[in-house]
Amino acid sequence: KTIGVIFDLDGVIVDTAKYHFLAWKSLADNLDFEFTEAHNELLKGVSRVRSLEILLDIGNLELSEEKKQEYLISKNEHYLKYITQMGSEEILPGVLSLLDNLDGLNIEYVLGSASKNAPLILKQVGLFDRFKGIVDGNSVSSAKPDPEVFLIGAQKLCLPPENCIVFEDAIAGVEAANRANMTSIGIGDAETLNEADYNYNNLTELPQNFFNMFLAE
């Protein structure tokens, strides 16, 4: 059968979580509470607005809408300082050979990310033109674990959801893929991502012939 692939961005193609962490941490420092790498795990895969809500919960703070808007803007400005320094050396191991493998098999792929900065990040690392389409935080009304981002991805691939395979590193993303009725592949800790159909620590672990069984169906 014809299959297509949908890639999450942060945690699958590149590790931008470390830059989100630095930017959120600096906001927490300014607001005078502790924000750790363990806390940062809670923000993976969720939208920018939701991230701020989680952060403020950690700091036990309630802020006006106006203040929140201000912090969302300053956090993103801070984050962009890191993003604009990124280059192709930041593409995670296994990504380029996987894309080459898909190209060789004529399997099309799109991006399905919560990030509003996804196009910029893909351009920075030189991968923008390789994707058939990009679904990002600007094109959805409901964030993961809502399946919307991946369902729009399937439309861009012109395929029914059952024919789509999703690579995700976040619990919310795996849930979104499952709810979309797609095959979910969890990249990262298998215990954390135990709802995924398949688990690999990183993309280099994906077997060479992984897609053949789907194509043969």
Give catalytic residue positions.
Answer: 8, 10
Which CB sits closer to ligand B16, 134 or 157? 134
Which CB sits closer to Mg ion, 59 or 146? 146
DSSP letter for each residue of 66-89: HHHHHHHHHHHHHHHHHHTT--GG
Site for ligand B16 in 57-96 (CB under 6 A): 76
CA distance 136 to 139: 6
Contact between 8 and ligand B16 by CB under 6 A: the answer reads yes
Site for ligand B16 in 93-132 (CB under 6 A): 113-117
Contact between 9 and ligand B16 by CB under 6 A: the answer reads yes
Query: Which residues fall within 8 angstroms of residue 105, CB to CB, at 6 or more apart?
Result: 211, 215
Site for Mg ion in 19-78 (CB under 5 A): 45
Beta bridge pairs of residue 167:
7, 185
The CA-based angle 175-181-186, given to 5 degrees, is 45
The amino acid sitting at 114 is A
Q: Considering only the stretches 4-12, 58-66, 101-109, 191-199, report the one whose residues sit in contact with ligand B16 under the rule CB under 6 A.
A: 4-12
Residue from 3, 5, 6, 46 that binds ligand B16 (CB under 6 A)?
Answer: 46
Q: How far is the CB of 33 from ligand B16 (least distance, A)?
A: 19
> Other C-beta atoms within 10 Å of 23: how many?
19
- CB of 181 closer than 8 Å to CB of 165: no
CA distance 125 to 154: 24
Three-state DSSP state, 23: helix
Q: If you compute the radius of gyration of the chain from its CA atoms, what whole number of angstroms results?
A: 17
Residue from 4, 5, 10, 99 that binds ligand B16 (CB under 6 A)?
Answer: 10
Residue from 28, 39, 47, 178 that binds ligand B16 (CB under 6 A)?
Answer: 47
CA distance 48 to 160: 29
Q: Considering only the stretches 32-40, 86-94, 167-175, 179-187, report the one whose residues sit in contact with Mg ion under the rule CB under 5 A.
A: 167-175
Contact between 188 and Mg ion by CB under 5 A: the answer reads no
Contact between 112 and Mg ion by CB under 5 A: the answer reads no
Contacting residues toward ligand B16, per CB under 6 A: 8-11, 20, 43-48, 51, 76, 113-117, 137, 170
List residues near Mg ion by CB under 5 A: 8, 10-11, 45, 169-170
